Structure 1
Amino acid sequence: MGKNNTRILMQFTALAMLLIASIMFKEAESIRLCKINTNDLEKCRPAVTGRNPPPPGPDCCALVKAADLVCACRYKGYLSSYGIDLTKAKAVIASCSARMPPCFRR
Structure 2
Amino acid sequence: MGRTGGKVLVVHCLMRAVLFTSLLCGGSPITFCNIDTNQLNDCLPAVRGMSPPPPTQNCCDVIHQAYLPCLCSYLPVLPMFGIDPVSAVALPNKCGLETPRECHVP
More helix by share: 1
Q: How far is the alpha carbon of 1:94 from its aligned partner?
A: 1.0
- Counterpart amino acid of 1:43? D
Instruction: Spell out the pairing of 1:68-83 with structure 2 (5 A cutoff).
Output: 68-83=67-82
- Counterpart amino acid of 1:54? P
CA 1:30–1:58 in 2, change beyond 3 Å: closer, same or farther?
same
Partner of 1:51: 50
Count of aligned residue pairs for this structure pair: 80
TM-score under structure 2 length normalisation: 0.67
Give the unaligned 5+ runs of structure 2. Answer: 1-25
Q: How far is the alpha carbon of 1:28 from its aligned partner?
A: 6.5
CA 1:28–1:48 in 2, change beyond 3 Å: closer, same or farther?
closer
Give the unaligned 5+ runs of structure 1. Answer: 1-26
Q: How far is the alpha carbon of 1:103 from its aligned partner?
A: 2.1
The CA distance in 2 between the partners of 1:35 and 1:62, in whole Å, is 12
**How far does the alpha carbon of each residue in 1:23-75 deviate from its partner, in whole angstroms, 9 at most, with x for none?**
xxxx8611210001111111000000011111001000010111000112322
TM-score under structure 1 length normalisation: 0.67
Bigger CA radius of gyration:
1
Segments ≥4 residues shifted beyond 4 Å:
none
Q: How far is the alpha carbon of 1:91 from its aligned partner?
A: 2.0
Between the aligned residues of both structures, percent identity stands at: 38
Partner of 2:103: 104
